[in-house]
Chains A and B, each alone.
Chain A
Amino acid sequence: MLTLRVSLALVAALSVPLPVTAQDSDVLKTPAEKLLSEAKATAFIGVDVWVGDGKKKLTGVTVLVEDGKVKEVGKDLSVPPSYERVVGGCLTPGIVMLGSTVGQSGSRPAAARSFVVRGRRFRGMPSRGGSSRATYTPNVKVTSKLRPMDGGWAEFLKAGVTTHAVRPVKSGLSGLGGVVRPLGRKVEDMVLADERYLYIGMASNTAHKKLLRDNFKKAKELIEARKKKPAAKTPAKPATKPGAKPTTTPKAATTKAVPQPKPQPKPGGDKPKPVQSKPTQATPTTAKKPAAPKKKPEDPKLVVLAKAIEKKLAVMLSINSGGDLLHALDALSDTDFPLVLMHQFSRGATDTPDHMVAQLKKRKVRCVLSADLGYAPNTRYFVNPIAKLMKAGVEVVLVPGRQHELKTLWFRLNELARAGISRAKLVEAISGAPAKLVGVQNRVGTIAKGMDANLLHFSRDPFSPATHLVRVYFEGRAVKGVSTKH
């Protein structure tokens, strides 16, 4: 008893001063945190605003920002005297970067990476095509691998990326993607939404095709087995839909983009409600089923795949070449779930998905593509695969071609605008559309009342090469240092 008291006293004594030092110490601040200035109520007066919803820009409006949120957007708003005033310029929403690999080990920006092929040293992104190693960890959340102290968060924040839809680095069925904000000392503070999509990193080889074919087949068998079981024993439970649960982010009825998987994970297990919901839990800890003593627990990996087959979890297919897509569609020919296709092609690629419009439409594929131009096959003539896909009615979301190309993103968008895509659509494609795709559109992605004040403040029209990025605002806080002065 005495020892318990002593130890309790010790714990109390130690725990009181610690948070104080931690908060004050600059050492414990994340690199992104160090960049951010204090939150101030700010009024952007007489600015042009690309809302990020694909509609025309608002001209000469006032945007009020308070407590990290957009308080009001409109003309002739009265600005309280306590507000800091920023006059003129143009605002766009912060970039929502799909397929980000920032903060994971082994995911330094590609420009800085060098690799060796047959004795020769190269710089840049090694091709994944040759590797036949296919990872099989579909139930691993990528957020569990993030490092809040990574310098990448700060670098990308400076360039205007205020939300990351993170994906696993490895190829194969390598995990569940989530959405994070680049700020937080713990991963829990960063996560906006988790388990948003199943990630498939495709490579053209037998190992990857076999992995997809075999495991989705097994998952189908699991679903069949489930259908047989509950009819006899647990008739009431399957009625609950795990996909219908709201996430921790505020959500409106408009959420139709992605079938929502399940609420944000509660590692501590404070709320036991998911236990009841269904055995389709990705985490093994929640896989306890009360009324099945003899039954073997379901393979958590297959549970995730089964969710994808049942269209309760979005599937993102990442490819490195057009061939990868054909091989993936061939391997997934027994399934019919919709796909989100990610192809971060390099400039001048000739195997962009616009050559496969028929296949894309058949499979209801939405595309996440580099904001870039391609070449007409066998020529050096630039063509615009994105415009072609948009015209064909395929939904397109844009990302920087490779991560190190982020600094030239606006220049690329300028080229796409010149090639005939509406500018409102382009802004939407880097902010509102990706946010919608991963189901966080009620918090980030657009400039509207109640949304996070993630703003990019440009001196003029952001598409013009004469414009520069004046400042990035993350949740109402100005980011020190600007990195994209064109």
Chain B
Amino acid sequence: MRYTTLLTALCATSLVVADLSAQRRRGRRGDRGGPPTAQVPTKPEKKKAAPKKPKPLVAYTNATVHVGDTTVYRRATVLLEGDKISEVGPQVEIPKRAKTIDCKGQHICPGFFILKGVNVGAPRSVRGEEKYGDGINPFHPMMKRALAVGITSYLTMSATSGKAPTGSSAVIKLVPGSIEGIVVKSPAIHAMSVPLGPEGWRKLKASVEKAKKYKKELADYEKKKAAGDKAAKKPKEDKSLAALLSVMDGKTRLQINSSSTPMFRSGGRMRFGGSAMSMRVPHIREALQVGKLFGAPVVLDNPSEAWIVADEIAAAKGACVLLPRSQVAPDPKVSEPNGSTIHACAILSEAGVPVAVLPGGGMFGSGIGNGGILGQDLNTPTLDPCFAIRGGMDAKEALSTITLYPAMLAGVDDRIGSLEVGKDADLLILDGDPLHYKTFVQTAVVNGKVVYEKAKEPFYRHVRPRN
């Protein structure tokens, strides 16, 4: 009897341990899958039934391929089938009908995904029945400019500082001249602010109770309906709870920011980014509490002191959007560590927290756009990952801060963010390492189509190719 119990306990423990390690790999660090040599690219699923018109095949060969999850293949091939990635790796068999493009000496990486894009063709917010896809301006002059620096998709979201999840958002692809296949997900993120205050917490808890009750009633109704009970009544939907329910069900992510004393706010457009809206330790802890209440992990927006509580965030499976260039000076009167540090990205990623980076916001809120001084942020999306490297982050992982990690944060990593089989064919062909300052995007491909070529567009065609 004793032996049996012991055996059962042992089995259970080993199972848990195995599971934990799997969780750690997947949840916190992205699906890295071990060292590059050990990784064998999974074979793509074969097409079920051959369609009438086979999708075009394009093979980019001989390139250094940065998958986006820190894996790098030398002399590898990326095979695209229509608008999806069909195969990636050093030993890809290229079908005869595929169009082959030799990328010798060039690098291929996933298109950059910027967690907040402003004024790049999509509306900032939509209301009521409106949809982001119907408000896109596919001829927006900034689209090609963004593609020229490697941004292939971005998150657009309304600025929110409510005491409960609200706001509209969408993950948008940059496809100039087209209104098809551009919205990846909408809504992707709902946002709210801390601190809530006692009254805010009371209301939030009441809303969560309400939402839980509704969910239970809905489940009961579904059960009854399935059992054939015609008298079953569908519980009434409360529209004010829609965002909350969506977050609780994991359909959308919850982003929490700090609403501490913005100096002016007009229609939600202008707000203080950078230091004024950064999250201090109490804010971060409160945000994690909110996540716990909802039963959903949270995305912390500009937590300048996250590095101090990195383990707490990791334990709560939280994620961070950091502004490596933005500084919050420590308060000399406080004895505990406080303020921002350039090492934040490195510390958090060591702790297993996915980190996405954005340029420091300044007056117009954090995000990549054509605002600020001459719209510089739009031209330099790789500057912030470089700052993360300067602060000690692994150089390979730094690429993930503008590719895979933001995609995970927005819940779209099943489609974009890395060059994995079955994901969307959004990639960049570069003349050097993606984060090197002398590198230029040669070609940008979105949904399998070439949408930018350096030689054909006015931005950088005068810059001679690197040798």
Chain B residues with CB below 8 A from A467, complex form: none
Is B129 within 8 A of A207, CB to CB?
yes
Chain A residues with CB below 8 A from B138, complex form: 322-323, 326
Q: Write the nearest CB–CB distance from A302 to chain B, whole angstroms.
A: 22
Chain A residues with CB below 8 A from B128, complex form: 132
Is B127 within 8 A of A132, CB to CB?
yes
Chain B residues with CB below 8 A from A214, complex form: none
Q: Tell me whether A137 is interfacial, beta carbon within 8 Å.
A: no
A359-376 contact mask (Cβ, 8 Å, vs B): 1 or 0? 000000000000000001
Rounded to whole angstroms, the CA-CA distance of A327 and B123 in the bound complex is 14
A330-372 contact mask (Cβ, 8 Å, vs B): 1 or 0? 1000000000000000000011000110000000000000000
Is B458 within 8 A of A379, CB to CB?
yes
Q: A206-B131, A350-B141, A378-B459 are in contact. List 13 more A-B contacts (CB 8 A).
A: A130-B123, A132-B128, A204-B134, A204-B136, A206-B126, A206-B135, A322-B139, A322-B177, A323-B179, A327-B179, A355-B139, A377-B144, A378-B144
Closest to B180 in A: A330
Chain B residues with CB below 8 A from A129, complex form: 135, 137
Q: Tell me whether B237 is interfacial, beta carbon within 8 Å.
A: no
B237-279 contact mask (Cβ, 8 Å, vs A): 1 or 0? 0000000000000000000000000000011010000000000
Is B137 within 8 A of A204, CB to CB?
yes
Chain A residues with CB below 8 A from B127, complex form: 132
Is B139 within 8 A of A204, CB to CB?
no
Instruction: Specify which of B136, B145, B177 is in contact with A378 (CB 8 Å cutoff).
Output: B145
Chain B residues with CB below 8 A from A209, complex form: 134
Chain A: residues with CB nearer than 8 A to chain B?
118-119, 129-130, 132, 204-210, 321-323, 326-327, 330, 350-351, 355-356, 376-379
Is B141 within 8 A of A378, CB to CB?
yes
Instruction: Specify which of B123, B139, B266, B457 is in contact with A321 (CB 8 Å cutoff).
Output: B139
Q: Tell me whether B130 is interfacial, beta carbon within 8 Å.
A: yes
The 8 closest A-B pairs by CB, nearest first: A351-B139, A323-B137, A322-B139, A206-B134, A118-B267, A206-B130, A206-B131, A326-B179
Rounded to whole angstroms, the CA-CA distance of A140 and B140 in the bound complex is 34
Question: How many of B's residues come within 8 Å of A, CB to CB?
Answer: 27
Is A205 within 8 A of B135, CB to CB?
yes
- B window 106-137: CB within 8 A of A: 121, 123, 126-131, 134-137
Could you list 30 A-B pairs, sorted by A, with CB under 8 Å? Answer: A118-B267, A119-B266, A119-B267, A130-B123, A132-B130, A204-B136, A205-B123, A205-B130, A205-B134, A206-B131, A207-B129, A209-B134, A210-B129, A321-B137, A322-B137, A322-B138, A322-B139, A323-B139, A323-B140, A323-B179, A326-B138, A326-B178, A327-B134, A327-B179, A350-B139, A351-B140, A377-B141, A378-B145, A378-B459, A379-B458
Is A207 within 8 A of B130, CB to CB?
yes
Rounded to whole angstroms, the CA-CA distance of A210 and B136 in the bound complex is 15
Chain A residues with CB below 8 A from B459, complex form: 378
Chain B: residues with CB nearer than 8 A to chain A?
121, 123, 126-131, 134-141, 144-145, 177-179, 266-267, 269, 457-459
Rounded to whole angstroms, the CA-CA distance of A355 and B143 in the bound complex is 15
Give chain B's interface secondary structure class.
loop
Q: Write the nearest CB–CB distance from A344 to chain B, whole angstroms.
A: 16
Interface centre among A205, A322, A376 (most CB of B within 10 A): A205
Rounded to whole angstroms, the CA-CA distance of A356 and B139 in the bound complex is 11
Is B139 within 8 A of A378, CB to CB?
no
Closest to A379 in B: B458
Chain A residues with CB below 8 A from B130, complex form: 132, 205-207
Rounded to whole angstroms, the CA-CA distance of A207 and B128 in the bound complex is 10
Rounded to whole angstroms, the CA-CA distance of A51 and B139 in the bound complex is 38
Closest to B133 in A: A206
Chain B residues with CB below 8 A from A207, complex form: 129-130
Is A323 within 8 A of B266, CB to CB?
no
Chain B residues with CB below 8 A from A323, complex form: 121, 136-140, 179
Chain B residues with CB below 8 A from A130, complex form: 123
Interface centre among B135, B269, B458 (most CB of A within 10 A): B135
Rounded to whole angstroms, the CA-CA distance of A326 and B139 in the bound complex is 10
Closest to A352 in B: B139
Closest to A331 in B: B134
Rounded to whole angstroms, the CA-CA distance of A243 and B194 in the bound complex is 65
Chain B residues with CB below 8 A from A204, complex form: 134-137
Chain B residues with CB below 8 A from A378, complex form: 141, 144-145, 457-459
Contact A351-B137, Cβ < 8 Å, known A119-B267, A205-B130, A378-B458: yes
Closest to B269 in A: A118
Closest to A118 in B: B267
Rounded to whole angstroms, the CA-CA distance of A207 and B130 in the bound complex is 7
Q: Write the nearest CB–CB distance from A466 to chain B, whole angstroms.
A: 35
Chain A residues with CB below 8 A from B267, complex form: 118-119
Is A206 within 8 A of B129, CB to CB?
yes
Closest to B129 in A: A206
Rounded to whole angstroms, the CA-CA distance of A355 and B134 in the bound complex is 19
Interface centre among A204, A330, A350, A355 (most CB of B within 10 A): A204
Rounded to whole angstroms, the CA-CA distance of A322 and B178 in the bound complex is 10
Q: Write the nearest CB–CB distance from B193 to chain A, whole angstroms.
A: 20
Rounded to whole angstroms, the CA-CA distance of A314 and B23 in the bound complex is 63
Q: Write the nearest CB–CB distance from A207 to chain B, whole angstroms.
A: 7
Q: Write the nearest CB–CB distance from A267 to chain B, whole angstroms.
A: 38
Q: Write the nearest CB–CB distance from A245 to chain B, whole angstroms.
A: 39
Rounded to whole angstroms, the CA-CA distance of A130 and B458 in the bound complex is 30
Chain A residues with CB below 8 A from B121, complex form: 323
Chain B residues with CB below 8 A from A322, complex form: 137-139, 177
Instruction: Specify which of A330, A350, A351, A355 is in contact with B179 (CB 8 Å cutoff).
Output: A330
Closest to A120 in B: B266
Rounded to whole angstroms, the CA-CA distance of A218 and B144 in the bound complex is 39
Rounded to whole angstroms, the CA-CA distance of A299 and B383 in the bound complex is 60
Closest to B267 in A: A118
Rounded to whole angstroms, the CA-CA distance of A330 and B134 in the bound complex is 10
Rounded to whole angstroms, the CA-CA distance of A116 and B130 in the bound complex is 23
Chain B residues with CB below 8 A from A379, complex form: 458
Q: Write the nearest CB–CB distance from B155 to chain A, whole angstroms.
A: 19
Is A355 within 8 A of B177, CB to CB?
yes
Closest to B131 in A: A206
Interface centre among A130, A209, A323, A330 (most CB of B within 10 A): A323
Contact A118-B266, Cβ < 8 Å, known A323-B179, A378-B144: yes
Q: Write the nearest CB–CB distance from A8 to chain B, whole angstroms.
A: 59
Chain B residues with CB below 8 A from A327, complex form: 134, 136, 179
Closest to A119 in B: B266
Rounded to whole angstroms, the CA-CA distance of A129 and B123 in the bound complex is 10
Rounded to whole angstroms, the CA-CA distance of A206 and B168 in the bound complex is 15
Chain A residues with CB below 8 A from B139, complex form: 321-323, 350-351, 355, 377
Rounded to whole angstroms, the CA-CA distance of A376 and B138 in the bound complex is 15
Closest to A208 in B: B134
Rounded to whole angstroms, the CA-CA distance of A327 and B177 in the bound complex is 11
Rounded to whole angstroms, the CA-CA distance of A350 and B140 in the bound complex is 8
Closest to A132 in B: B130
Chain A residues with CB below 8 A from B135, complex form: 129, 204-206
Rounded to whole angstroms, the CA-CA distance of A206 and B132 in the bound complex is 8
Rounded to whole angstroms, the CA-CA distance of A206 and B183 in the bound complex is 14
Closest to A351 in B: B139
Q: Write the nearest CB–CB distance from B80 to chain A, whole angstroms.
A: 24
Rounded to whole angstroms, the CA-CA distance of A385 and B115 in the bound complex is 36
Closest to B177 in A: A355
Closest to A330 in B: B179
Rounded to whole angstroms, the CA-CA distance of A326 and B458 in the bound complex is 25
Rounded to whole angstroms, the CA-CA distance of A129 and B121 in the bound complex is 12
Rounded to whole angstroms, the CA-CA distance of A422 and B85 in the bound complex is 50
Q: Write the nearest CB–CB distance from A362 to chain B, whole angstroms.
A: 15
Closest to A380 in B: B458
Chain B residues with CB below 8 A from A206, complex form: 126, 129-131, 134-135
